[in-house]
Amino acid sequence: MWTESDWREAAARCGIDLIGVTTAEPLAEHAYYLDWVSRGLAAGMTYLTDHRANKRGDVREILPSAKSVIVAAVLYNAPVPGGPFSRYAWGPDYHDVLRERLERLAKELPAGHDYRVCVDTVPVLERALARRAGLGWIGKNTCLIHQGAGSWFFLGEILTSLELPANPREAPDRCGSCTRCIEACPTSAIVPTKGAHGWELDARLCISYHTIEARTPAPPGLREHFGSLVFGCDICQDVCPWNRRAPITMDFAPVAGPTDLEEMAMLTAEEFRAAYRHTPIWRAKHRGFLRNVAIAMGNAPRASYGPALEHLAASPDPDVREMAGWALSRLNSDDRLSLGRLTP
């Protein structure tokens, strides 16, 4: 049987920063998940609300022979320039990186077991599994937080038919009376609820949802609060005291570009592909990306944005056109920046 140090050494060899084991028993949080979904808080994420919702609480729906779940965390806190993309989005696509590392670890386990590697897209409750495996607690911002590593990490799992010694103790909740994330959220997306720690995320209000997952433009009254964010949002983690000393890694060093709004607005579909295909930003697709760029320009109107916005206003996509029209109206509503004065 593997000892704890065997685990840590194997994980480190495979590029995994934190590791924990839990059983394949159903998760108590599944009832909360179904309730969250039933109240409409998943917004338009149909992959959370469809027939897979009922299966998410039990990993044996994915691997019937599963006895244990190995939960891995890989840090992504690389030095990034700040600006329009959230921290995780600058680097290479984490799905590929984590899957490869977890496959390597699975090969180190005793031979002959059934296993399945999960990274993000498999219908399992990754944060709840990680909490039960002892990797950290669920913060009021709903992120999994590790006392030493903060929350800048991805999660992935190996479901296995091996019966492994499960983590005996869950990490205590160390949010205490802190409410920084709730106060800092520009759209008040962390809302009070009756529940374990009294707060939950309403995806309908979340910038991360609207810039990554939403396939329709954010409603007026909300998009004005997105600032210059084009993909993802880190605000509720940036302010978290547990991220102050979060370790740095170069594994997800920035590869995404360009990052200048005017340049991004002018990208063709081919150029978009070349620039972001291997980063998480690809998920927004070209049309979602341009829609987000138009919103970011509308939130900081500058005369120089005029030509780029006119270009987006002629897009074949109705959502991009609508957001460019909205941004242009904000540009024009400011007398000093009126388009009429743009012509040299």
Among 34, 178, 313, 339, contact with ligand SF4 (rule: CB under 6 A): 178
Q: Which does 127 bind (CB under 5 to 8 A by kind): ligand B12, ligand SF4, none?
A: ligand B12
Cα distance between residue 150 and residue 17, in whole Å? 12
CB 132 within 8 A of CB 167: yes
Strand pairing report for 199-201 and 190-192: antiparallel
Q: Which CB atom, from 207 or from 246, has the smaller least distance to ligand SF4?
A: 207
Among 187, 211, 249, 292, contact with ligand SF4 (rule: CB under 6 A): 187
Q: Which CB atom, from 39 or from 107, has the smaller least distance to ligand SF4?
A: 39
| 120 belongs to the catalytic site | yes
Cα distance between residue 206 and residue 188, in whole Å? 8
Cα distance between residue 258 and residue 101, in whole Å? 29
Instruction: Find the catalytic residue in 58, 120, 173, 319.
Output: 120
Site for ligand B12, residues 272 to 331, rule: CB under 6 A: none
Q: Cα torsion for 88, 90, 92, 95, to the nearest 10°?
A: 30
Distance of closest approach, residue 144 Cβ to ligand B12, in angstroms:
4
Neighbour-count burial of 4, counting CB atoms closer than 10 A to its CB (0-12 exposed, 13-18 middle, 19+ buried): exposed
CB 154 within 8 A of CB 74: yes
Q: Which CB atom, from 202 or from 324, has the smaller least distance to ligand B12?
A: 202
Told to check if 143 binds ligand B12 by CB under 6 A, we report yes
For the chain, helix, strand, coil in percent to 5 are 45, 10, 45
Told to check if 41 binds ligand SF4 by CB under 6 A, we report no
Residues that bind ligand B12 (CB under 6 A): 29, 32-33, 36, 45, 48, 86, 88, 119-120, 124-128, 138, 141-144, 151, 153-155, 193, 195-197, 200-201, 203, 206, 208-209, 212-213, 232-234, 236
Residues that bind ligand SF4 (CB under 6 A): 139-141, 175, 178-181, 185, 187, 189-190, 201, 206-208, 233, 235-236, 239-242
Residues annotated as part of the active site:
120
